[in-house]
Amino acid sequence: MNAPTDLRARPMAADVDAVVGSLRRDFAERAVTTSAVREQHGHGEGLADAGVPDVVVFPHTNEEVAGIVRLCHAARVPVIAFGVGTSLEGHVAALYGGVCIDLSQMNRTLEVNAEDLDCRVQAGVTREQVNADLKGTGLFFPIDPGANATIGGMASTRASGTNAVRYGTMRENVLGLTVVTADGRIVKTGGRARKSSAGYDLTRLFVGSEGTLGIITEIQLRLYGIPEAISAAVCQFSDLKSAVDSVITAMQLGLPVARIELLDALQMQACISYSKLEGFEAKPTLLFEFHGTEAGVREQAETMQSIAQDQGGSAFQWATQPEDRSRLWKARHNAYYAALALAPGRHAFSTDACVPISRLTDCLLETRADLDAVGLLAPIVGHVGDGNFHVLVLYDPASVEERAKAEGIAHRVSMRAIAMGGTCTGEHGIGVHKLDALVAEHGEAVELMRTIKRAFDPLNIMNPGKTVPL
Window 250-269: contact mask with another protein (x via CB under 8 A):
-xxxx---------------
Q: Taking the complex as a whole, how short is the minimal distance between the CB of residue 153 and another protein, in angstroms?
A: 17
- Strand order of the β-sheet with 99-102 is 31-32, 55-57, 99-102, 79-82
Bridge-based pairing state of the strands 99-102 and 79-82: parallel
Q: Taking the complex as a whole, how short is the minimal distance between the CB of residue 210 and another protein, in angstroms?
A: 9
Window 67-86: residues binding another protein (CB under 8 A): none
Q: Which amino acid is at 124?
A: G
Identify which range of 35-43, 113-121, 146-154, 321-329 contacts another protein by CB under 8 A.
113-121
Regarding 273 and contact with another protein (CB under 8 A), the answer is no
Regarding 295 and contact with another protein (CB under 8 A), the answer is yes
Q: Name the phi and psi angles at 418, rounded to 5.
A: -65, -40
Identify which range of 147-155, 311-319, 352-360, 365-373 contacts another protein by CB under 8 A.
352-360
3-class SS of residue 158: coil
Say how many residues touch another protein, by CB under 8 A.
92
Q: Cβ closer to another protein: 168 or 312?
A: 168
In 3D space, the residue among 119, 190, 206 whose CA is nearest the CA of residue 154 turns out to be 206
**What's the DSSP call for residue 423?**
B
Neighbours of 128 (CB within 10 A): 12
Report yes or no: 377 and 266 within 8 Å, Cβ to Cβ.
yes
Phi-psi category of residue 76: left, alpha or beta, with phi > 0 → left and psi -120 to 50 → alpha: left
Regarding 424 and contact with another protein (CB under 8 A), the answer is yes
- Could you give the CA distance from residue 10 to residue 33 in angstroms, rounded to a whole number? 18
Window 303-342: contact mask with another protein (x via CB under 8 A):
----------------------------------------
Regarding 3 and contact with another protein (CB under 8 A), the answer is no
- In sequence order, what are the residues at sequence separation of 6 or more whose Cβ sits closer than 8 angstroms to the Cβ of residue 231? 289, 290, 297, 301, 318, 319, 320, 325
Q: How far is CA 50 from CA 65, 83, 91, 402, in A?
A: 24, 16, 10, 20
Q: Cβ closer to another protein: 21 or 356?
A: 356
Which of 61, 358, 369, 372 touches another protein (CB under 8 A)?
358
Identify which range of 33-41, 194-202, 266-274, 374-382 contacts another protein by CB under 8 A.
194-202
Window 10-39: residues binding another protein (CB under 8 A): none
Stated as kind and residue range, the H or E segment containing 118 is: strand 118-122
Strand partners, 261: 287
3-class SS of residue 74: helix
Which of 30, 70, 188, 283 touches another protein (CB under 8 A)?
188
Which of 15, 45, 239, 299 touches another protein (CB under 8 A)?
299
Window 446-465: residues binding another protein (CB under 8 A): 446, 448-449, 451-456
Regarding 197 and contact with another protein (CB under 8 A), the answer is yes
Identify which range of 337-345, 394-402, 403-411, 414-422 contacts another protein by CB under 8 A.
414-422
Window 116-155: contact mask with another protein (x via CB under 8 A):
xxx-------------------xx----------------
3-class SS of residue 210: coil
Which of 191, 320, 326, 330 touches another protein (CB under 8 A)?
191
Report yes or no: 53 and 20 within 8 Å, Cβ to Cβ.
no
Which of 185, 310, 320, 398 touches another protein (CB under 8 A)?
185
- Could you give the CA distance from residue 149 to residue 168 in angstroms, rounded to a whole number? 17
Which of 62, 367, 388, 463 touches another protein (CB under 8 A)?
388
- Could you give the CA distance from residue 367 to residue 241 in angstroms, rounded to a whole number? 12
Q: Taking the complex as a whole, how short is the minimal distance between the CB of residue 151 and another protein, in angstroms?
A: 18
